[in-house]
């Protein structure tokens, strides 16, 4: 029963596609009701959540600003009563040589990947801290550990996500709220479409992955269930790589 999420409610951002969708479905399969929060409707995810016998709520929120954060959290709390699990997954990437990166692209990446993540976490954590339990999972990146190439804003934001994971864990661990992160390796989603479409880059990436293949969104689901479950009650401030061994090279 260590990984059983029955009776819990999870809020997952950016769950209409890719990693967020796979994480939402894994949490639902483990027993959690799901609130999908994002700028695009998550109907396909919701249909699968309901097919698993769980409740589903879709909340529209554009996380490029913090404006919709209070309303989104209030709606989820009204429907489910509590939010036991928060997965901060929504994120964007903007590629440019560092010398050419515009301020608009820099701000767009920080606002979605870091600022909205922090203030959504703050809003969800308030009731978690008041009742003394909760699981918060941030989606970090290999670029929480490495510099990357032509994505300086993304590297800065994802390195910030790793730092924030540790900072929040330090404040909230003693109050029963676990804050951890998952750092996916190279996963085949819209986020990495440009890399997948470049045969040279794609070959170079796969050659460096000990598992010998791109990751799939579903590869992230098990780590999310683990960190959301009682099995992770004594894990705080950890950034768990799910990368087919990329960082081990």
- CB nearer to ligand NAP: give 14 or 134: 14
Range in contact with ligand NAP (rule: CB under 6 A) among 13-21, 46-54, 95-103, 121-129: 13-21
- Is 187 a binding residue for ligand NAP by CB under 6 A? The answer is yes
234 assigned to active site: no
Residues numbered 216-245 forming contacts with ligand NAP, rule: CB under 6 A: none
Instruction: Report which secondary-structure segment, H or E, holds 126.
Output: helix 116-131
Residues numbered 70-109 forming contacts with ligand NAP, rule: CB under 6 A: 89-92
Tokens linked to 198: 């470049």
- CB nearer to ligand NAP: give 112 or 180: 112
Q: Do 146 and 186 contact (CB within 8 A), yes or no?
A: no
Q: Catalytic residue among 154, 186, 214, 246, which?
A: 154
- Is 189 a binding residue for ligand NAP by CB under 6 A? The answer is yes
Q: Report CA-CA distances (Å) from 209 to 71, 227, 246.
A: 41, 24, 5
Q: Report CA-CA distances (Å) from 186 to 79, 128, 138, 140, 210.
A: 35, 32, 17, 12, 12
- CB nearer to ligand NAP: give 2 or 249: 249
Q: Do 19 and 217 contact (CB within 8 A), yes or no?
A: yes
Binding-site member from 190, 194, 211, 247 for ligand NAP (CB under 6 A): 190
Bridge partners, residue 86, by sequence: 11, 136
Q: How far is the CB of 174 from ligand NAP (least distance, A)?
A: 28
């Amino acid at each position: 029963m260590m990984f059983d999420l029955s009776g819990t409610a999870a809020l997952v951002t950016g769950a209409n596609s890719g990693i967020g969708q796979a994480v939402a479905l894994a949490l639902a399969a483990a027993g959690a009701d799901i609130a999908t929060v994002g700028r695009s409707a998550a109907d396909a995810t919701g249909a699968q959540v309901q097919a698993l016998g769980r409740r589903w709520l879709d909340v529209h929120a554009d996380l490029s600003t913090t404006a919709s954060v209070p309303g989104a959290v209030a709606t989820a709390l009204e429907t489910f009563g509590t939010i036991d699990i928060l997965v901060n997954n929504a994120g964007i990437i903007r590629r440019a040589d560092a010398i050419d990166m515009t301020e608009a692209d820099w701000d767009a990446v920080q606002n979605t990947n870091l600022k909205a993540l922090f203030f959504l976490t703050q809003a969800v954590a308030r009731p978690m801290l008041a009742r003394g339990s909760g699981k918060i999972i941030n989606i970090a990146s290999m670029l929480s550990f490495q510099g990357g190439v032509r994505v300086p804003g993304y590297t800065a934001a994802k390195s910030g996500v790793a730092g924030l994971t540790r900072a929040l864990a330090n404040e909230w661990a003693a109050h029963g709220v676990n804050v951890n992160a998952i750092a996916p390796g190279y996963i085949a989603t819209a986020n990495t479409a440009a890399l997948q479409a470049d045969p040279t880059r794609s070959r170079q990436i796969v050659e460096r992955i000990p598992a010998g293949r791109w990751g799939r969104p579903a590869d992230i689901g098990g780590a999310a269930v683990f960190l959301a479950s009682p099995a992770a009650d004594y894990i705080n401030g950890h950034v768990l790589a799910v990368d087919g061994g990329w960082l081990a090279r």
